[in-house]
């Protein structure tokens, strides 16, 4: 996927569903539920049980979705993720070797960063976007907004503190997209296996953020 295609996919969809569980089948049902609700970018964290098998399965079962992985800590993990066909990868940190490896493979890589120095370092190393994590620790949407003056050309994806209630604020503040994990999958709904309710929540967030198509663009 080219950089332009990746950024256009983010601008079109605005939200990434982040799934992390200890049971493969549970993760599969979570992915299918948010896809039914209209979310088209799904991240299966690498520490999810049987993540590689699940990603391969979901790429077949959800052909209209872009399926990737996250929480990649080492070059070895990244190479395995690329080998199975992940369509994008997230890392919680900035590793220039990992960034270049993904870039050579033509797969978008979104490393984690927090301070302006870290963000610029990740971007100059070749990152496709930069993950701002944990956003709740540094002021939420106001932090994203404050970065727009000096760093507005760098596409940012905040995670770790994004909720159904504040997701729109991050897009309004200039984020190209947001990552949603636990707040998209309330524990009580998971226990009840109420996939319809989760699909409805996904539908709500997709509708909210679809109203912000022109915001967060980096032309």
What is the arithmetic mean of pLDDT over 73-96? 98
Angstrom distance (rounded) from CA 120 to CA 180: 24
**Residue 21 falls within a domain, yes or no?**
yes
**Residue 149 falls within a domain, yes or no?**
yes
**Residue 43 falls within a domain, yes or no?**
yes
Percent of the chain's residues with pLDDT above 70: 96
**Residue 217 falls within a domain, yes or no?**
no
Angstrom distance (rounded) from CA 198 to CA 190: 8
What is the arithmetic mean of pLDDT over 67-94? 98
Q: For 148-172, write each residue's pLDDT tens digit.
A: 999 999 999 999 999 999 999 999 9
Contact by Cβ (8 Å): 7, 218: yes
Instruction: Dig out the tokens for 11 from the structure.
Output: 């601008």
Of 32, 43, 168, 169, the active-site residue reads 43
Q: Which H helix or E strand runs over 42?
A: strand 41-45
**Residue 216 falls within a domain, yes or no?**
no
CATH number at residue 161: 3.20.20.70
What is the arithmetic mean of pLDDT over 176-191? 95
Q: How many CB atoms lie within 10 A of CB 173?
A: 21
Q: Is 207 a catalytic residue?
A: no
- Look at residue 217 in the predicted model and tell me its pLDDT: 46
Q: How many CB atoms lie within 10 A of CB 213?
A: 12
Domain count, the chain: 1
Contact by Cβ (8 Å): 119, 147: yes
Q: For 198-215, write each residue's pLDDT tens digit.
A: 999 999 999 999 875 555
Domain that holds residue 195: 3-210
Which of 134, 37, 157 has its CA nearest to residue 88? Answer: 157
Judged by DSSP in three states, 44 sits in: strand
Angstrom distance (rounded) from CA 97 to CA 181: 27
**Residue 84 falls within a domain, yes or no?**
yes
Does the reported pTM lie above 0.85? Answer: yes
Angstrom distance (rounded) from CA 111 to CA 128: 8
pLDDT greater than 70 at residue 117: yes
pLDDT greater than 50 at residue 218: no
**Residue 215 falls within a domain, yes or no?**
no
Of 61, 103, 118, 131, the active-site residue reads 131
**Residue 218 falls within a domain, yes or no?**
no
Which of 149, 86, 142, 150 has its CA nearest to residue 158? Answer: 142
Q: Is 131 a catalytic residue?
A: yes
């Amino acid at each position: 996927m080219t950089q332009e295609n990746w950024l256009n996919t983010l601008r079109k969809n605005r939200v990434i569903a982040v799934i992390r569980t200890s049971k493969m089948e549970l993760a599969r049902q979570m992915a299918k539920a948010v896809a039914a609700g209209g979310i088209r970018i799904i991240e299966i964290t690498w520490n999810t049980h049987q993540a590689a098998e699940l990603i391969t399965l979901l790429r077949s079962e959800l052909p209209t979705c872009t399926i990737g992985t996250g929480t990649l800590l080492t070059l070895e993990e990244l190479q395995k993720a690329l080998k199975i066909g992940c369509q994008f990868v997230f890392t919680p940190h900035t590793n220039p070797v990992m960034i270049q490896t993904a870039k050579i493979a033509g797969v978008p890589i979104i490393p984690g960063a927090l301070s302006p120095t870290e963000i610029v370092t990740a971007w100059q190393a070749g990152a496709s976007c930069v993950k701002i994590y944990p956003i709740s620790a540094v002021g939420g949407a106001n932090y994203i907004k404050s970065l727009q003056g000096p760093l507005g050309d760098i596409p940012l994806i905040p995670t770790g503190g994004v909720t159904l209630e504040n997701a729109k604020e991050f897009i309004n503040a200039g984020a190209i997209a947001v990552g949603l994990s636990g707040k998209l999958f309330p524990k009580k709904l998971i226990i009840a296996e109420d996939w319809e309710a989760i699909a409805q929540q996904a539908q709500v967030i997709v509708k909210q953020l679809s109203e912000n198509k022109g915001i967060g663009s980096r032309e």
